[in-house]
Chain A
Amino acid sequence: MKRKVQDVQKQHNRQPQRRATPNFRRKMQGVMGCLLLATTPAMAEVEWDFSGFASIGAGKLSNDTLEFMDYTGDEWSMDSDSALALQAIMQTGDRWSVTGQVLAKGFTFGEYSPYEPRLEWLFASYELTPELRVRGGRLRLPYFMYSESIEIGYSYPWVRPPIEMYANFLEPFANFDGVDLTLQKAIGEFDNEFKVFAGSAEAEYRGREVDVEKTTGLAALTRWNEFTFRYCYSWNRMSIYDPDPDIVAAMDGYRLAEQFATAANIPGAEIFGDIADTLRLDSKVYQYHGFGAQWEHGPWTVIAEKLATQGPGKQFSFENDGWYVTVAHQIDAWMPYVSVGEYRSEMDPKINRRILASYEVIGPGIAALDDLRTRTMASISDLSVYHRSTTLGIRYDFHSNAALKLEAEYFSFKSTGQMLFDGSEEEPDHVIATSIVVDVVF
């Protein structure tokens, strides 16, 4: 089952489908409304700023049965860490500004074709007081220390932020359409920033449709001397629809078993309906907690982050934990860095327990049902992921607006997790990802 799931995922990766969402037009109208609102009082004095950034990267894996983004063991590929973005900021002298940024990425897990331009930011911003700002439009969810600059390779040490924290599965939570309110307030020696946000998001992730109907949360950051600490909490009511024919067939299979058991007056028949429900997510709540700390001491930089997510405990529910620590040291234009991290994703154990319990309702003997149950349990255990990584890299600022980075990342895992395994032989327990990238800002 897993292999087929991966095949479907790969097809989706290679031939992404544009989805015309019914909400899209409404949302764009909202965004345009914000823009109009912002441009109306802008007649006084308007200033424009144009800028951009770009990255061009290449990478390769040490094992040719795996796939990490578009990196494989066969040859160097160039899309995963390559991106180009253009930005315009329009500022008026009267507290308003409008920011737009268009990004084209070489690789995403979502519905975009390689290098298809997409709207990363488009918002109007208004300064209510010297300390309070409100923004509305397309924004980014502030989940991580580097959430808002995730694509700007130039702004951080690594080739890409560590995937133990900046996990692939969180990609649908990159952007949202909504509002946020930011308070900048110094209290004694602490320079604080509090943000609250609310909105919605829609995205695809490896062929699954992820609809974040409602997202809301807060982010708090404080700077004190050389230290920065941050915390983000987010509450998401969301649905996931998986069009994978295997999943659809499995759900139908369990529903059929439920009907059969009900018709035969077998007590506990509803357990099959419950199992079918664990294969979908329908308007349930996922919560996110992210912690971050950074220490800037002369040439030293230490960055640490940790995430924890909580599933709904019903339906398709899993929990994730991840953390990393990076130490970097600047020596003139060179900055070597080392990073370690760990990531764990576990399916709700109730799902497996329920399948085992279903054998007491209908015991083994019906081949199709037994096969279905065995495969579901196997695929659920495949969704439980654990990996650890150690990264060595160096950044070289060869120009005042450009940096070259070279990085080797050693992953060891129980399950290949955020990488895809082609299933051709025994699953490897480690892999080295080597990548090189040039980041520029202009």
Chain B
Amino acid sequence: MNKIKPINKIRKALLPLLLGGGLCLSAHADLVVVVHPSNPVANLSEEEVRRIFMGRMRLFPQGEASIEAVDQEETRPEFAKFYEAISGLTPAKLKRQRASYLFSGKGRLPASLPDDAAVLDYVANHPGGIGYVTRDQIDTRVKAVLAISE
């Protein structure tokens, strides 16, 4: 992991230059949903991912391990893009729905992590972990189960 990070940093710095427009890489690359490699789940449908992150499913469909979902922070473009793709709700509506969910005895919201690297670390270390990261950040410590394109 220590080897990967610096490379990513360099790529992150270089790519926008290469693209020539000062584009923010993370806002435009596709997202992938990742789980722990030991998870028997081979892939998840968008529907299943929606149910997991909207709190309507708490055990993985295969193996029935407890789901430990993690979010990126709300201010991150990954967060906005992910929830727009899976829920179709505007940010304001999503915020209201999540508040309602949290306080109405349905369960916890996914824990919030600062960036892709933190999500990868978490999922790599938790057999029940599931998160979403920018596609080109993915490494071999996790398993991709769904690609979310724009």
Contacts and interface: CB of A to CB of B under 8 A. Distances in A.
Interface stretch (B7-15, B21-29, B92-100, B115-123): B92-100
Contacts of A101: 103, 105
A93 B65 CA distance: 9
B83 interface: no
Interface string A118-130: 0001010101011
Given A155-B97, A184-B51, A186-B47, A130 B59 contact: yes
B67 to A, nearest CB: 9
A94 interface: yes
A148 B51 contact: no
Given A123-B105, A129-B64, A149-B103, A155 B96 contact: yes
A344 interface: no
Given A130-B58, A152-B103, A154-B99, A91 B92 contact: no
A361 to B, nearest CB: 53
Contacts of A327: none
Nearest to B100: A155
A313 B103 CA distance: 38
Nearest to B105: A121
Contacts of A97: 107-108
Nearest to B61: A130
Given A130-B58, A184-B51, A186-B47, A330 B93 contact: yes
Contacts of A226: 88
Interface string B131-150: 00000000000000000000
Given A89-B108, A130-B60, A397 B92 contact: yes
A244 B99 CA distance: 41
B66 interface: yes
Given A89-B107, A127-B66, A335-B92, A155 B99 contact: yes
Interface string A296-316: 101101000000000000000
A149 B104 contact: yes
A65 interface: no
Nearest to A226: B88
B57 interface: yes
A1 B99 CA distance: 45
A135 B56 contact: no
Contacts of A285: none
A426 interface: no
A123 to B, nearest CB: 7
Given A335-B92, A441-B99, A193 B105 contact: no
Nearest to B95: A400
Interface in B29-74: 47, 51, 56-61, 64, 66, 68, 74
A397 B88 CA distance: 20
Given A149-B100, A193-B56, A301-B93, A99 B51 contact: no
A85 interface: yes
Given A130-B58, A184-B56, A296-B89, A93 B128 contact: yes
Contact of B105 (A49, A91, A140, A397): A140
A146 B104 CA distance: 9
Nearest to A298: B90
A101 B108 CA distance: 13
A49 B107 CA distance: 10
A287 to B, nearest CB: 24
B85 interface: no
Contacts of A125: 107
Contact of A184 (B57, B93, B96, B108): B57
Contacts of A155: 96-97, 99-100, 103
B102 interface: yes
Given A95-B59, A127-B58, A131-B57, A186 B97 contact: no
Given A191-B51, A301-B93, A53 B99 contact: yes
A53 B56 CA distance: 22
Interface in A71-98: 85, 87, 89, 91, 93-95, 97
Closest 4 CB pairs of A and B: A148-B104, A155-B100, A130-B59, A149-B100
10 contacts: A53-B103, A89-B107, A94-B66, A127-B58, A127-B66, A129-B64, A146-B100, A148-B104, A149-B103, A333-B92
Interface of A: 47, 49, 51, 53, 85, 87, 89, 91, 93-95, 97, 99, 101, 121, 123, 125, 127, 129-131, 133, 135, 139-140, 146, 148-149, 151-152, 154-156, 184, 186, 191, 193, 226, 296, 298-299, 301, 330, 333, 335, 397, 400, 441
Given A149-B100, A155-B100, A298-B90, 11 more contacts: A49-B108, A87-B102, A91-B107, A130-B60, A148-B100, A148-B105, A149-B103, A152-B100, A154-B96, A184-B56, A330-B93
